[in-house]
């Protein structure tokens, strides 16, 4: 097998992102060579959505519609390539918001049809974790922790297409806890990055906010309690003087400590399934940008923890192209087979194809 140029399109939420990636599947899977990112070109709607206080699916979809073609043109120009040079088109199909997903899938199908190139639908969650392989060699199985705006999951990852859920949030995702807490604190949207910055100037031990499911030995997470407790704190202390940054840092600390605590239970579960005592841990998703989380994990797990580089943590086309590079096979899909699957979190196109082949 030879090197392929892969186009990656990501539009599942509020980032329009397109990448061109070059790599040889055999080499990347054999941990011989990392893929080469030719261009990553993204447009974040954060500024446009701030006035709405969050993502409005219809507005996000319209913004993707406006941006996707100019972004694609620009990406090709930067890479000095033409559409015909692309060997494989890849696009997020699930999970995500219906309208935003549709814009990316329609663009991808059109390119595939016009250029007569195969197309692969990519599971956004798997792509977040596997993004580690854009810059590092990590072997399987590994323990994956995916923390984003919509999801917080522990996975046992046996191969690029074999993911087993070990734990999940029972209510809000970690990113939601940042964003909703940020709203209560009067910070902008999305608040994760702002809370991260303000926390550097505050004392994380000043106030105690609760850790969800603290006394349960499962590796499930819960973030609704911490958010309520922040709301109650702010209501009760309306007229009191408190150091704002201490509150922010303490709130962030509760979110982060919950992940650390539950990670030890996830390790236990991973051990029961694999007999591997000290597994490699991969952290991905937008919340993996958080500097406190990165610092605490690196201090505790040292070389055993692999954290996706910040530029590949938040939604991006490079992780989609990278996932496609690692998972495409010769019986690849053509546009008529590819459909969006907004609510499906866990079944990748590959699993579906496997099932179809078996039946």
Q: Please, which of residues 113-152 interact with ligand KG4 by CB under 6 A?
A: 148-150
- Is 148 an interacting residue with respect to Zn ion (CB under 5 A)? yes
With respect to Zn ion, which residue has the nearer C-beta, 151 or 262? 151
Question: Rounded distance, CA 252 to CA 258, Å?
Answer: 10
Nearest Cα residue to 157 out of 178, 133, 181:
133
* Cis peptide leading into residue 265 (ω within 30°): no
| Stretch of 87-95, 134-142, 146-154, 330-338 contacting Zn ion, by CB under 5 A | 146-154
With respect to ligand KG4, which residue has the nearer C-beta, 111 or 122? 122
Q: How far is the CB of 194 from Zn ion (least distance, A)?
A: 19
Cβ–Cβ under 8 Å, residues 172 and 220: no
Contact partners, residue 289, CB within 8 Å, separation at least 6 = 192, 193, 196, 310, 313, 314
19: partner contacted, choices Zn ion, ligand KG4, none (Cβ within 5-8 A by kind)? none
Determine which residue in the list 287, 318, 319, 321 makes contact with ligand KG4, applying CB under 6 A.
287
- Is 315 an interacting residue with respect to ligand KG4 (CB under 6 A)? yes
Question: Rounded distance, CA 314 to CA 195, Å?
Answer: 16
Residue 183 three-state SS: helix
| Stretch of 179-187, 254-262, 272-280, 309-317 contacting Zn ion, by CB under 5 A | 309-317
Question: Rounded distance, CA 160 to CA 25, Å?
Answer: 12
179: partner contacted, choices Zn ion, ligand KG4, none (Cβ within 5-8 A by kind)? ligand KG4
Determine which residue in the list 11, 25, 92, 290 makes contact with ligand KG4, applying CB under 6 A.
290
Q: Please, which of residues 166-205 interact with Zn ion by CB under 5 A?
A: none
- Is 315 an interacting residue with respect to Zn ion (CB under 5 A)? yes
Cβ–Cβ under 8 Å, residues 190 and 222: no
- Is 13 an interacting residue with respect to ligand KG4 (CB under 6 A)? yes
- Is 8 an interacting residue with respect to ligand KG4 (CB under 6 A)? no
- Is 204 an interacting residue with respect to ligand KG4 (CB under 6 A)? no
For every residue of 258-303, DSSP letters joined together read: HHHHHHHHHHHHHHHHH--SS--EEEESGGGG-HHHHHHHHHHHGG
Binding site for Zn ion (CB under 5 A): 148, 315
Q: Which residues bind ligand KG4 (CB under 6 A)?
A: 13, 148-150, 175, 178-179, 190-193, 196, 285-287, 289-290, 314-315
């Amino acid at each position: 097998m030879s090197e392929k140029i892969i186009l990656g399109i990501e539009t599942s939420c509020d980032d329009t992102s397109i990448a061109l990636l070059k790599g040889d599947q055999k080499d990347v899977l054999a941990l011989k060579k990392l893929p080469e990112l030719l261009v990553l070109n993204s447009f974040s709607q954060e500024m446009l959505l701030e006035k709405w206080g969050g993502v409005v699916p219809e507005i996000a979809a319209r913004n993707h519609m406006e941006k996707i073609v100019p972004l694609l043109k620009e990406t090709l120009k930067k890479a000095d390539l033409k559409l015909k040079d692309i060997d494989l088109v890849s696009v997020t199909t699930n999970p995500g918001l219906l309208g935003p997903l549709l814009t990316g899938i329609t663009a991808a199908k059109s390119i595939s049809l016009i250029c007569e190139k195969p197309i692969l639908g990519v599971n956004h969650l798997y792509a977040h974790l596997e993004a580690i392989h854009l810059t590092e060699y990590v072997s399987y199985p590994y323990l994956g922790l995916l923390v984003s705006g919509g999801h917080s999951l522990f996975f046992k990852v046996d191969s690029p297409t074999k993911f087993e859920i070990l734990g999940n949030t029972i209510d809000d995702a970690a990113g939601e806890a940042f964003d909703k807490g940020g709203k209560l604190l009067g910070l902008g949207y999305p608040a994760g990055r702002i809370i991260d910055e303000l926390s550097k100037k505050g004392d994380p031990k000043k106030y105690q906010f609760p850790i969800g499911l603290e006394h349960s030995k499962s590796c499930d997470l819960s973030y609704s309690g911490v958010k309520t407790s922040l709301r109650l704190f702010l209501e009760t202390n309306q007229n009191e003087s408190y150091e704002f940054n201490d509150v922010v840092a303490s709130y962030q600390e509760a979110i982060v400590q919950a992940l650390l605590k539950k990670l030890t239970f996830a390790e236990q579960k991973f051990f029961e399934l694999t007999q591997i005592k000290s597994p490699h841990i991969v952290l991905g998703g937008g919340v993996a940008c958080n500097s406190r989380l990165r610092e605490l994990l690196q201090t505790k797990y040292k070389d055993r923890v692999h954290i996706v580089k910040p530029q590949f943590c938040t939604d991006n086309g490079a992780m989609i192209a990278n996932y496609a590079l690692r998972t495409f096979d010769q019986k690849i899909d053509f546009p008529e087979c590819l459909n969006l699957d907004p609510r499906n979190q866990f079944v990748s196109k590959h699993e579906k194809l496997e099932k179809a082949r078996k039946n």
